[in-house]
Chains A and B, each alone.
Chain A
Amino acid sequence: MIALLAQVEIRDRAAEDGCVAGNGFCPGWIADNLDRYLEPFWQHVYLSIVAVVVGFAIAFALALLAHERRWLVGPIIGITGVLYTLPSIAVFFLLQPITGRGALTALIALTAYTLLILFRNIVTGLENVPSETKDAARGIGYTDRQVLWKVELPLAMPEIIAGLRIAATTTVGLATLAFFAGAGGLGGEIFADITFKSNVVFAGGLCLALAILLDVMLLAAQRLLLPWRRAVAT
């Protein structure tokens, strides 16, 4: 573990110009070394997206369960809340004896962190559906299942997407620690030479870009899927 954090240098200082030797921000060096970030970047994308998708599937199932059995909301918030507050580095190490080093360990931890946000947003979204809308839907002959899928869930979509946006951006950030679990990702590159500005800024920038990209995609999905949200009195 100490070895992991120990100062490593990823460049041949002697062979490089003054910028690199001085730990500066060197566009030339970045352009020459792009390919070293490619694999960690894709690992990062993989970890973030899989964690959010799996987290969403679990949170969604839990939310539907709690929607029918209201008393479950409290306990589920409690448990996912505890998961959320566990220090992530500790979890990465604690899980290793059970699941070993690698993507699985990282994914379990990252997924666990998305649950609270996603569950709470889905439940809130469902709760905020106006009761008269549900009453009217039942009154004109929607079955309970149709009320859920055709009225409640579509109307909960703004909150659900808001939850996904928060979950996606925080997961991209947390995934920088996944290399502690041996799952790679951009965090590994950042820590590989943490004194070298070119490296830290570029690897960090890729994380930021990924977070923004996911956020913009979700926002675009919201605008595309929810045209009624933009409809206001004219």
Chain B
Amino acid sequence: MTSSNTAQAEGPDAYREATTLELRRVSKTYPGSDRPVISDLSLEVGAGEICVLVGPSGCGKTTAMRMVNRMVDMTSGDILVGGRSVRARPAAKLRREIGYVIQQIGLFPHQTIGENVAAVPRLLGWDRRRTEARVDELIALVGLDAELRDRYPAQLSGGQRQRVGVARALASDPPLMLMDEPFGAIDPINRERLQNEFLRLQGRLRKTVVFVTHDIDEAIKMGDKIAVMKVGGVLAQYASPAELLTAPADEFVEDFVGADRALKRLALLRVRDVDLWRAPLVREGEPTAAARARVAESDLPYPLLVDADGRPLGWLSERDLARERVRAPADSGPEPVVDRDAVLRDALADILQAGTQYAPVVDGAGGAVGVLSIDVVGHFLAQGDTTEESPSARAGVDP
């Protein structure tokens, strides 16, 4: 894609600084009701952080989010975006500066994808060239094919539409994004992919994000900070994912994060964060004596056959080392092979799924760097310490 100089100047590397968000003792009571839907809610979100609002249905998480761009008016308290009250200017003006993504996406069916993405720039009165360049850039940024630009929303898949929704929300380069269950209507496989894509994008853009979900797993995956809310809009706990899992504030939070919170901590880590076993790597045609020596000093009884570039080919048995030289092919394939950057929970799931005890771990180039075993994970969980990383770092984008 060709892009002009002006487009590059506004390109992904020159995005606007994220902003802070503060909810100060915010309450909301609907007229004719004496029960508040939001009670005295105070939250501070740092610039560039993803704050996830999570809780059972009726806890007011969506209402809380919608008060930020004044889609719902608060009854008392104040909300500050970058230190400035959201009530300081007309609602429509405020909203053009805040990205907005909802579960049903709400693309305009009568406009092409390009026109949908251009909606906010047009409201802001950008000239044609700047708008066009921005649309091209965003369509590429969210990973959509440039040729989709002239299609209509009805011609796209659910996942593609969700990407367009995100592109539209990012169009004016807002320092703050509001996302209401943005991946809730997507099938599990695509949801996982979109979550990772969004985290990768976030690693580059560093927006301040308010993300609403009812799914605690999604909250743990996406959040720098998680606000667990109870019915009536009461804040139960506001903490980092690891803190939430290791030290739930009360019984409600403990129940909500679930009895498997030890396991959930695995979602916060990557394979490379645990001490891997050294694997006895052997190549075809090597003297078996050397191979045996390597098996003896490793943590594993079986040698891992690798190709000339160190990529795992499969496991060898005792028998394969009986001759003078290492013989191929291997007894069994290397599967499952896990990436060292993979989330630990996913890697463990792969191992359990395959019915084995361990799996070769490979680096980005596919070369074997060690072995992950169930024992390693068990030992790690017993230790109980959790190092923290930002969600986008876990998604593999940080430098």
Contacts and interface: CB of A to CB of B under 8 A. Distances in A.
Which of B69, B97, B106, B152: most chain A Cβ within 10 A? B106
B92 interface: yes
Nearest to A134: B106
Contacts of B93: 141
A142 to B, nearest CB: 7
28 contacts: A130-B106, A133-B109, A136-B100, A136-B107, A137-B106, A137-B119, A138-B92, A139-B69, A139-B95, A139-B100, A140-B96, A140-B169, A141-B92, A141-B93, A141-B95, A141-B96, A141-B97, A141-B120, A142-B92, A142-B123, A151-B108, A155-B109, A155-B110, A157-B110, A228-B110, A231-B151, A231-B154, A232-B154
Contacts of B110: 154-155, 157, 226, 228
Contact of A140 (B151, B152, B156, B168): B168
Contacts of B372: none
Nearest to B157: A233
A135 interface: yes
Interface residues of A, number: 25
A143 interface: yes
Interface string A168-186: 0000000000000000000
Interface string A220-234: 000000111001111
Nearest to B100: A139
A124 interface: no
B105 interface: yes
A130 B109 CA distance: 10
Interface in A64-95: none
Contacts of B111: 228
Contact of A139 (B71, B107, B152): B71
Interface in A201-234: 226-228, 231-234
B317 interface: no
A146 interface: yes
A221 to B, nearest CB: 15
A146 B178 CA distance: 22
A228 B105 contact: no
A225 B92 CA distance: 28
Contact of A136 (B94, B102, B112, B123): B102
Interface in B7-55: none
Nearest to B66: A139
A234 B155 contact: yes
Interface in B71-127: 71, 92-97, 100, 102, 104-112, 119-120, 123
A234 to B, nearest CB: 6
Contacts of B165: 136
Given A140-B168, A146-B123, A234-B155, A132 B92 contact: no
Interface in B109-168: 109-112, 119-120, 123, 151-152, 154-156, 165, 168
B372 to A, nearest CB: 42
Given A136-B105, A140-B95, A141-B93, 17 more contacts: A130-B104, A132-B104, A134-B106, A135-B71, A136-B102, A137-B119, A138-B95, A140-B96, A140-B100, A140-B120, A140-B168, A142-B119, A151-B108, A231-B151, A231-B154, A231-B155, A232-B154
A78 B154 CA distance: 37
A221 B208 CA distance: 45
Given A138-B95, A141-B93, A132 B106 contact: yes
Contacts of B123: 140-142, 146
Nearest to B71: A139
Which of A137, A141, A142, A146: most chain B Cβ within 10 A? A141
B114 to A, nearest CB: 13
Which of A146, A228, A232: most chain B Cβ within 10 A? A228
Question: Which 3 pairs, one residue from A and one from B, show the smallest C-beta to C-beta distance?
Answer: A136-B106, A141-B96, A231-B152
Contact of B106 (A133, A154, A226, A234): A133
A136 B171 CA distance: 14
A148 to B, nearest CB: 13
Nearest to A141: B96
A130 B97 CA distance: 24
Contacts of B107: 133, 136
B109 A140 contact: no
Interface string A43-67: 0000000000000000000000000
B203 to A, nearest CB: 24
Contacts of B106: 130, 132-137, 139
B283 to A, nearest CB: 49
Nearest to A233: B155
Given A140-B168, A154-B110, A155-B109, A232 B155 contact: yes
A134 B108 CA distance: 9
A143 B108 contact: no
A140 B116 CA distance: 11
Given A133-B109, A137-B106, A140-B95, A228 B100 contact: no
A233 B151 CA distance: 10
A231 B154 CA distance: 6
Contacts of A233: 154-156
Which of A132, A140, A228, A234: most chain B Cβ within 10 A? A140
A134 to B, nearest CB: 8
Nearest to B93: A141
Contact of B119 (A140, A155, A226): A140
